[in-house]
């Protein structure tokens, strides 16, 4: 049977994490700036990105963990490590708006699951009490099966219920609308990865963005769902390196 993902992905993490103090807490310090999304951590990219506040080895202060909180800590982190330098912004933070409403989301289990996450009672129970983002969403959003070591690496920051607050979704629609409008109009170089069938960004949505975004390069990595870094790490690394040298540097 043909295999459409990279099976020999390394689980190793032989790195000493560095920290930089930001605001009243700290974030792990990396030089190359990639951004992870919910519910993962820097393990997704294997040590080349900062941990968002509340994730991974970063501090877990008592804050609401809304989008604006994450933005404030990330901004302070960038200022702390690159105070006088021009930073190359690489955001792998699910920046596309794949569907206008949850009724337009691909039907079936995904639609039902995300409807539940938006419920203030059921959603909190799933994210905080059941750790569903790590135990259900993560393993079902890639083609290959995570090894025990890999899955445990994603679990480790959220073993205690109190540490799972950053996983509970918050309302950021107004901010997202403004950002989405800016994204469609600006000339900043962009690289869009997508896969078939895709989980949230499907072939249809990828085609729409490749038509409407300015200064964008699209790369279909083949078969995949959502966490393409775990299924196609070498392909993504090669394409990012090529894109940086051609479009950014």
**Residues 94-115: tens digit of each pLDDT:** 555 555 554 554 555 666 777 7
Is 5 part of a structural domain of the chain?
A: no
In the prediction, which pLDDT does 96 show?
Answer: 57
Q: Give the lowest-confidence range in 29-38, 118-127, 138-147, 153-162.
A: 29-38
Is 149 part of a structural domain of the chain?
A: yes
Q: Residue 92 pLDDT > 60, yes or no?
A: no
Comparing 41 with 213, the larger pLDDT belongs to: 213
pLDDT digits (tens, 9 = 90+) for 18-29: 666 766 555 454
Q: What is the dihedral of CA 219, 147, 163, 49, to 10 degrees?
A: -40
Q: Which residue has the tokens 């729409």?
A: 208
Is 150 part of a structural domain of the chain?
A: yes
| Neighbouring residues of 17: CB distance < 8 A, sequence distance ≥ 6 | 28, 29, 57
In the prediction, which pLDDT does 106 show?
Answer: 53
CATH at residue 202: 3.40.50.1820
**pLDDT interval class at 35 (50, 70, 90):** confident
Q: Give the lowest-confidence range in 45-59, 134-148, 197-211.
A: 45-59
CA 58 vs. chain centroid, Å, equals: 16
Q: Give the lowest-confidence range in 134-138, 163-167, 173-177.
A: 173-177
Q: Give the lowest-confidence range in 177-181, 182-186, 187-191, 222-226.
A: 177-181
Alpha helices, DSSP H, located in the chain = 67-81, 109-118, 122-124, 132, 148-155, 173-185, 203-212, 228-231, 233-243
pLDDT digits (tens, 9 = 90+) for 54-82: 888 888 888 888 888 888 888 888 777 76
Is 129 part of a structural domain of the chain?
A: yes
Is 134 part of a structural domain of the chain?
A: yes
Comparing 191 with 12, the larger pLDDT belongs to: 191
List, as own/partner pairs, every contact residues 138-142 make where C-beta atoms lie below 8 angstroms and the sequence separation is at least 24, other chains included. 138/39, 138/40, 138/227, 140/225, 141/199, 141/225, 141/226, 141/227, 142/5, 142/224, 142/225, 142/226, 142/227, 142/228, 142/230, 142/231
In the prediction, which pLDDT does 1 show?
Answer: 39
pLDDT digits (tens, 9 = 90+) for 135-144: 999 999 999 9
pLDDT digits (tens, 9 = 90+) for 215-227: 999 999 999 998 9
In the prediction, which pLDDT does 148 show?
Answer: 95
The DSSP 8-state label assigned to residue 29 in this structure reads E
- The structural domain count of the chain equals 1
Is 2 part of a structural domain of the chain?
A: no
Is 1 part of a structural domain of the chain?
A: no
- Mean pLDDT for 135-164 is 92
**pLDDT interval class at 30 (50, 70, 90):** very low
Question: H-helix or E-strand containing 27?
Answer: strand 25-29
Q: Give the lowest-confidence range in 8-12, 130-134, 164-168.
A: 8-12
In the prediction, which pLDDT does 145 show?
Answer: 93
Q: Residue 132 pLDDT > 90, yes or no?
A: yes
Domain range for 69 is: 18-248
Query: How would DSSP label each residue in 165-211?
Result: GGGS----HHHHHHHHHHHHH----EEEEEEEE-SSS-HHHHHHHHH
In the prediction, which pLDDT does 249 show?
Answer: 67
Q: Which tokens in the block code for residue 76? A: 């302070």
Cβ atoms < 10 Å from Cβ of 88: 12
**Of the candidates 176, 65, 171, the residue with the CA atom closest to the CA atom of residue 118:** 171
The Cα diameter of the chain in Å comes to 53
Is 13 part of a structural domain of the chain?
A: no
- Measured CA to CA, the distance from residue 195 to residue 219 in angstroms comes to 8
């Amino acid at each position: 049977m043909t295999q459409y993902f990279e099976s020999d992905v390394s689980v190793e993490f032989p790195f000493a994490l560095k920290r930089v103090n930001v605001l009243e807490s700290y974030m792990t310090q990396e030089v190359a700036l990639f951004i992870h999304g919910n519910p993962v951590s820097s393990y997704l990219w294997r040590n080349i990105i900062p941990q968002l506040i509340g994730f991974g080895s970063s501090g877990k202060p008592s804050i609401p963990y809304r989008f604006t909180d994450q933005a404030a800590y990330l901004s302070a982190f960038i200022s702390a490590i690159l105070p006088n330098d021009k930073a190359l912004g690489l955001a792998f933070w699910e920046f596309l708006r794949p569907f206008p409403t949850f009724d337009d989301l691909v039907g079936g289990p995904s639609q039902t699951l995300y409807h539940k996450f938006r419920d203030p009672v059921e959603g909190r129970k799933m994210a905080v009490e059941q750790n569903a983002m790590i135990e259900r969403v993560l393993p079902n959003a890639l083609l290959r099966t995570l090894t025990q070591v890999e899955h445990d690496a994603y679990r480790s920051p959220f073993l205690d219920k109190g540490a799972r607050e950053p996983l509970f979704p918050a309302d950021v629609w107004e901010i997202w609308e403004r950002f989405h409008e800016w994204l469609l109009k600006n000339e900043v170089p962009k690289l869009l990865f997508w896969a078939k069938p895709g989980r949230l960004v499907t072939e249809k949505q990828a085609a729409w963005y490749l038509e409407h975004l300015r200064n964008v390069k699209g790369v279909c990595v083949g078969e995949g769902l959502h966490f393409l870094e775990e299924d196609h790490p070498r392909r993504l690394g090669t394409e990012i390196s090529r894109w940086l040298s051609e479009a950014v540097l």
